[in-house]
Chains A and B, each alone.
Chain A
Amino acid sequence: MNLNTIQNYIFHKLDRPLFGALILILIIGLINLISANHQDISNTISHIVNIIIGIIFLYVTCNIQTRTILVFAPWTYSIGIFLLIYVNLFGIESHGAQRWINLGIFNLQPSEILKISLPLMLAWFYQKCASKINYRVHFIAGLLIFLPFYLVTTQPDLGTSLLILFGGLTIIFLAGLPTKFIISSFIGLLISSPFIWNSLLNYQKERILSLIDPFSDPYGAGYHSIQSMIAVGHGGIFGRGWLNGEQTNLRFLPETTTDFVFSVFSEEFGFFGVLAIISIYIFMFYRCMWMVSKMQDTFSRLAAAGLTISLFVSLIVNIGMISGILPVVGVPLPFFSYGGSSMVVSLISIGIIMNLYSNKSLIAN
């Protein structure tokens, strides 16, 4: 075996363009995090560890039998739901929400697991019912979505629960929910929106209201939004330079390593830096969707599309949030934010998409 064959053997299932772009983003994210965590070495090291663990998971999920993923889909979903219930009862509280389970070496965030297991579960379910997809099937799919959505909402973590809901609904949409039904339920939603508003918690209402005019409450709900926009705007065309973001260094910017990690990047690297990162993300998104379009079976298509959409919806929500066009809902930026669960889950999602693509013909029919 020559070197080329070994390379081919190791990497034959990895989609090289996607993986290349991913590595690029991870490296930029790492460099940015050094600035965002105020050059805290231990923080940086644990971010590197998260990346390495995530890459290993990606490699493993990319190379396992596709059938295994299919078989395990209902199990991951059940385990995810169980953990969600568990976290609601015994989880660690932080910022007024229960989101983590303490596993000794690290804290697990079960709602992140649902970002993978829900698309897999739905895809598995539609695969099972592929021959006779009707309203009953869509309704059961809806229940499968509603269960984790409800559990995450009660943590309370509105941002993540909406992402789960949206990811799930797009799968139903792709599975062929009739257009008539979509339009009529959309109208129904509009009519019931006042009632939904009333059921929101105060802090959620405040966050949404502060979006409309963040400056109306600059020291309360709007504070994060304003400080983030100041950091972004301060960056200008070319940015303040790496490690030189004043808003970051002087700690005006909140949550610099997680939710507002991209504000740090925007201040230090400016509009061109932002343009570069968004371009890489667009490329990755486009590549993923292209891969979906090449897949042959319902499970692969729906699972891969669901995972892609989950990833990139949180990406758009996060960037929209830090630039002040979306409310501050606490959604991390995939591949960029600090946080083990999010990093590993995002990389596993990419691994599964690559796996499904490389096996595009294996489980067909």
Chain B
Amino acid sequence: MDKYYIKFILRNRLNFITYCFLIFFLLLILRFFYIQILQNNYYSTQALNNIIKIVPIEPARGLIFDRNNTIIADNKLSYSLEVIPEKIENLSVLINKLSNVVTIDNSDIIKYKRILSKNQFSHTIPIKSNLTNEELAEFSTHSYQFPNVELKETLKRSYPHGALGVHYLGYINRISKKDLIILEKEHKKKNYIGTDHIGKAGVEFQYENELHGVSGYKHIEVNSMGKTLRTIKNFPAKEGRNIHLTIDLTMQKIAEKEFKNKKGALVAMDPNNGEILAYVSMPNYDPSLFIDGINHKSWNKLNKSKDKPLLDRAINGLYPPGSTLKPFVAVAGLKNQLRMPPFKINDPGYFYINNSRRFNDWKIGGHGEVDIIKAISVSCDTFFYGLAIELGIPKLNKTLADFGFGIKTGVDLPNEKPGLLADAKWKKKKYKKKWYVGETAITGIGQGYTQVTPMQLALATSKIAFPNKSIIPHIKLNSQHLKQNTGLTPPINISDQTIEWVKKGMENVTEDGGTAAFIGKTTAYKIAAKTGTAQVFGLKKGEVYDEKKVPDHLKDHALFIAYAPAKNPKITVAVIVENGGHGGSTAGPIAKKIFDYYLTSGSR
């Protein structure tokens, strides 16, 4: 053996290796000292972040009832399968695998992709909603195969009555980017962290704050799979408040049924306090379509339909009031000491302005001797041409505004339209043209530029029944909103004796000789009413309107306003049937059904 090798090379190299190792060991100890002692706080926080997750708890949304405790918007327990999109490597593989357990069809996938593309908020996205009991059981037994799929138990909004009353009820939808910006601005975003849905229309939108409730949260301990092991802290959510509406759902059903497949709107109201009893806009649609985001096909169908089901005709539909405006014009006259009985005119069936322009009455040959009472009951145009011209637009509009025309009624529903009371100033601005006297004349019979909503008609009619009240139409029972907005339209300020002439005229409408005489014949109570017909298109000079010749969509709108019983009014109804022809014959019977239900059925 080479002594030199052993003594110098081997010993040195063995020592070298030993020292190297000892240095490595020392470095390791220093490393542990650094991590475990110096960096202990940092890693402990990291460990806690691993384990503790804060999970928001969505509050149960408040329920919506009608005035008789019938449920309109409910929450139903629903099971869905949700996934965290970032954790899915291959969607189609997952869907294939899931398909062995639950039915996943194309619409589920489209829905998933739609929500994913619009998702701003949610941590998880449903890939399959509304599991059946069988699917639930099937998934539960196979859930170990799907570590990234979460079975979520949620309360899902349900609208048990489908399309009934959709326009006041509205709907909820998933929170969008736009909603989020608004929530952020109103500092409500924090409260919505666990929430996927928000009210988008109708009462669901209007009373969102009350219905939503207060978000809760819990601290949970999870393992590396994200599986919940236990709850450490729990701050329960405060559920949303239940809301009772003034709507009488039975009446609503009757009203919608009466419309059959006609378009139009109806507002029934208690004239004593402004509670809305029925609120119809036809055609309607099923609010359930919107709950998880409406699909393209349904949306296009709704949005592009020429019948405009999405339009809330009760507060957004603008109609010429036609002859239903006459009682209000009459009040304007009487308030200005014009046409006070026993003043009469002799109606030849036409009215001349400046002996040149001729305005026809609807009745060829005229109504003969007409006072203000008869003028209303037979809907005499000639009478009101003259009255309107003598009054002039400013005075006429002043009284019409007192009835609530041209301004919002203040109803507690979103996006109400104010309608229009036109005058010279408005016309100048809009058309750069001057106002003609003839336009004043036709304003007096509810044609021309005037536009009203059914809600406004119902309010104005209620103000004939109770001219000294200042009510606000509202849809939420015991509304706080009522107190805040009292006085949106002032009392009419007219003597009982004077208003009695107008009331008498309206009562006579449903009596022999009145424009809706047939309605009064079968009732046990007295109805005060006014019919109306609003032209959809102007007749050319010399052309005669013939209902049978005109295509459906150009037919006149039928209007009908009424309150009953005449001596002790309990209910006001305003009806518009689009392209319904004469007001008495199509709109009147609908109102009568409502009165019959409300005033004579056992429920009252």
Contacts and interface: CB of A to CB of B under 8 A. Distances in A.
Interface stretch (B9-17, B127-135, B335-343, B382-390): B9-17
Nearest to B40: A236
Contacts of B39: 233
A292 B10 CA distance: 11
B37 A271 contact: yes
Nearest to B16: A173
A252 B224 CA distance: 5
A280 to B, nearest CB: 11
Report which residue of A250, A278, A316 has the largest number of chain B beta carbons within 10 angstroms of its beta carbon: A250
Contact of A282 (B22, B46, B47): B22
B222 interface: yes
Interface string A291-332: 011000110010001000100100010011001110000000
B47 A231 contact: yes
B47 A234 contact: yes
B355 to A, nearest CB: 91
Contacts of B5: 176
Contacts of B32: 232, 266, 271, 274-275, 278, 323
Interface in A241-293: 246-247, 250-252, 266, 270-271, 274-275, 278, 281-282, 285-286, 289, 292-293
B94 interface: no
B121 to A, nearest CB: 22
Contact-residue size bin, chain B (C-beta under 8 Å from the other chain): 35 or more
B42 interface: yes
Contacts of B18: 285-286, 289
A87 interface: no
Given A250-B229, A266-B36, A312-B21, A229 B28 contact: no
Contacts of A286: 18, 22
Top 6 closest pairs, chain A to chain B, by CB: A233-B43, A234-B47, A250-B223, A271-B36, A236-B40, A252-B224
Nearest to A323: B31
Contacts of B9: 176
Interface string B213-235: 00000000111110001000000
22 contacts: A130-B1, A170-B17, A174-B13, A229-B43, A234-B40, A234-B43, A236-B44, A237-B36, A237-B40, A246-B51, A247-B50, A250-B51, A250-B223, A266-B32, A270-B36, A274-B29, A282-B22, A282-B25, A289-B17, A298-B1, A309-B17, A320-B31
Contacts of A237: 36-37, 40
A235 interface: yes
A22 interface: no
B14 A324 contact: no
Q: Is the interface of A mostly helix, strand, loop or mixed?
A: helix
Q: How large is the interface on A (under 10, 10 to 19, 20 to 34, 35 or more residues)?
A: 35 or more
Interface string B37-80: 10110111011001100000000000000000000000000000
A230 interface: yes
A179 B22 CA distance: 22
Given A170-B17, A281-B25, A250 B221 contact: yes
Contacts of B146: none
Contacts, number: 119
Contacts of B42: 233
B299 interface: no
A271 B51 contact: no
Contacts of B22: 282, 286
Contact of B10 (A176, A233, A271): A176
Given A230-B47, A236-B37, A252-B51, 17 more contacts: A170-B17, A230-B46, A232-B35, A232-B36, A234-B46, A235-B36, A237-B36, A237-B37, A237-B40, A250-B222, A274-B29, A278-B29, A286-B18, A292-B14, A316-B25, A320-B24, A323-B32
A319 B47 contact: no
Contacts of B1: 130, 297-298, 365
A170 B14 CA distance: 10
Contacts of A251: 223-225
Contacts of A231: 47
A278 B27 CA distance: 11
B597 interface: no
B352 interface: no
Contacts of A130: 1
Contacts of B545: none
B4 to A, nearest CB: 10
A234 B37 CA distance: 9
A320 B29 CA distance: 10
Given A233-B39, A266-B36, A325 B51 contact: no
Contacts of A233: 35-36, 39-40, 42-44, 46-47
B33 interface: yes
B10 A234 contact: no
The interface centre, meaning the residue of B10, B22, B222 with most chain A CB atoms within 10 A of its CB, is B10
A232 B44 CA distance: 9
A266 B31 CA distance: 12
Contacts of A312: 21
A306 to B, nearest CB: 11
Contact of B13 (A173, A229, A270, A297): A173
B540 to A, nearest CB: 75
B373 to A, nearest CB: 84
B43 A174 contact: no
A275 B40 contact: no
A289 B494 CA distance: 117
